Structure formats: C-alpha cells, structure tokens
Amino acid sequence: MLRTFSSLAAAAAVALLLPATASAQDWASSVYSEGGVELRIDERIFTLFAAFNDMGLDDAPVTRQDPIPKREFDPVRRQVRDAILMSPDLRAKFEAFFDKNPLPVRTYAAYTLALGDAPTFTAPAKLPVGTESLKGFEALLAEFYGKARIKEIFAKLTAPQREVLKRFSPAVDKPVAEARAVMKTKETDASPQVVVVVNLLDGRGSAHGIQVGDEIFLVVGPAAAGTGPVDSLPIARAFARAELEAIAKGKGSALKGGKELLREVQGNYAVGSASVEDYVAENLARVVAIKAAVPSEEMSKAMEDEMRNGFLLVRELNRGMAIYAKATKPLDAFIADFLREIDVGKLPRL
C-alpha cells in the first residue's frame, strides 16, 4: 500500500517531535495494520454516538424478546449508556435540531469528522458536500461534551477500546485490497489515506465510509463478542461506500423510476439514503463488499439478506458488476450506462 506505508513512516517521525503528553495520547488512541492502515478511536465520533445512544439509538443483536427485548451491547457501549443522562433542556435542543435536519446517521458522522477536536469541535470554513444544513451542530456537541463529562468517560475507556483496535488490525488490509480489485481502482501516492475508526457505540456490522479531505474514514461497529476473527464485510462495505461517493454522484437520474423506488423503500425500510444517488451507492457498496469479503458459496444468501433489508438493487447491480469485470470502461461510465438498463418495476421485493 503505497500511501499507507509512506504515511506510517511520516507519523512515526512526527511522533518523535511531539510533547510527551501528545505522543502518549496518540499512542493510546491508534494502532496500525501490517499494511500501514491506521486504526483509531475518535473522540468526535465517540461524542456523537454517545449523544445518539442517550437519544434512543439501540441498534444491536436482540438476544431475548420477552418480556422486553434484551440487546447485546458491547461492554464499552453499556458503560457509556449507564454513565450518561442528558438534561431535559439539552435533549430538547437535540430533538429540535434533528426535527429540522432529519438526515441519515452517515451525514451527521461526515459532518462530525470534518470538525476540529473536542472540546470546541470547531467547524471548518468548507463543509463536506451534503452536510451544509448541519452548520451549528458543533455547538450542541460541545455543550453535550462538557455537561456529560465525555472527556473523563472517553479517557477511562481508552484502554479497552485500544484492545479492540488490536483485534481489528489483522482484519483490515485484505478487505480493502479486495474491494479495490472488484472496483478496479488502484492505490497511488495520490490516493486518500484510509483510516479505520472502530465505533463501539454503534450496532454490530454497522459501516459508514466517508471521505473528508484527503482521508477516507471507515467507521465500523463492534465485532461479535469473543476472541474470534473480525468480520471483514463491514470494512469492505465502508471502503466501497466511500470510494463510490464520487462515482455515484449525478447518476441518480440514470435510474428510471429511481425517485419512486426510493420513496417506496424509505416507507418500508431504514436504508440511510437521502437521495437516489445515495441509494445507488449504498446498494453498489454492498455488492462490492460481498464480492470482496464473502465466500462464493455464501454470496447468494448474502445478496438476499441485503434485499430483505431494503437494498432492492443488489441483484441487478451484482449482474452489472459481473459484466464490468470483463469491461474496459471506467466504473463511473459503466454504472451510468448500466443503470439505464434497470427496470425498476421488475425488481423483486422480498
């Protein structure tokens, strides 16, 4: 990995110049894979999802239904949920902001990753495309950070989170490389730096791929409990989603009936897509990830599972990617042409 190896060397050199406290903090909050990909716990994402959890986010495997559902939260997430109780006034501010800006979690994560560090969360002059309406959210994060004592909670939980980074480290390089191979995108010195942010405050299998500046953040949820290997599928999906952002941009109009399809899907599923091009990118990212990280004998079931979750384009896009594997067109041109061939009315509904 050209970019990752050079960045790793640069990071090591810079660390020697930092004050001891800064170096210790960096050491505690990140590790590197064998291929040079940084894995990080991010205090900004930690703050965002701590607020989400206190506001009601409870995505997690259900291990008991009656008399009330029991969810399997990561131990770090459980401690955060037990420690935080937002004031009614601050909760009302968050609710009002969410009512005004009912955007997917991924959009809020993108905005948060563009902010400066805690405790101020300073917004940059130029915000990520699609997040502009969230201007001012940094003030809510800063208020929550202070009142909920996130600094102390994050510091207390740094060590167990670092142990999780070590567990994830061997599982990062291969799915990223395989996803690149499926999309036929080569890594160069100009490629964005890949950073894996392990977010233990989200649901298992969650994956958000977001490019901010010259970094691609793969924000992935916790792995299954135990010491077994980490599932590489969310990592591949997050990477593909970030890479496909630009490729899918402006392609929504190529899918005839796309707006009607998205309205149908939004009415029945939680797909986290605010536009047709977002929905196309989410579907295509799932196809790429399955091809990159799932054994061939299990791919068909994996595709059906995604369709049951509302990603109704995966079967057709899987057919398209099989054609693309032998094509000479670049992916952006190929996808634009292939979307025009899809008959939305004939898509299977599971």
Confidence (pLDDT) at 51: 98
Q: Containing H/E element for 53?
A: helix 43-55
Distance, in Å, from the CA atom of 6 to the CA atom of 189, rounded to the nearest integer, reads: 8
Confidence (pLDDT) at 12: 47
Confidence (pLDDT) at 25: 46
Q: Assign residue 121 a region: left if phi > 0, alpha if psi is -120 to 50, beta otherwise?
A: left
- How far does Cα 343 stand from its chain's mean position? 29
- Residue 30 β-bridge partners: 40
Q: Assign residue 273 a region: left if phi > 0, alpha if psi is -120 to 50, beta otherwise?
A: beta
Distance, in Å, from the CA atom of 212 to the CA atom of 114, rounded to the nearest integer, reads: 6
What are the residues whose beta carbons fall under 8 Å from the beta carbon of 175, sequence distance 6 or more?
A: 232, 233, 235, 236, 239, 289, 292, 293
- Tokens 């990071």 appear where? 11
pTM of the complete model beyond 0.75 = yes
What are the residues whose beta carbons fall under 8 Å from the beta carbon of 297, sequence distance 6 or more?
A: none
Look at residues 165, 208, 206 and name the one whose alpha carbon lies nearest to residue 60.
Answer: 206
- Tokens 């791929």 appear where? 209
What are the residues whose beta carbons fall under 8 Å from the beta carbon of 283, sequence distance 6 or more?
A: 306, 311, 312, 313, 314, 317
Share in percent of the chain as helix, strand, coil (round to 5): 55, 10, 35
- Residue 194 β-bridge partners: 216
Q: Where are the domains of the chain?
A: 2-183, 249-346
Distance, in Å, from the CA atom of 284 to the CA atom of 320, rounded to the nearest integer, reads: 10
* pLDDT tens digits, 205-256: 999 999 999 999 999 999 998 778 899 999 999 999 999 999 999 999 999 9
Amino acid (one-letter) located at 157: L
Show the low-confidence residues of the chain (pLDDT under 70): 1-28, 350
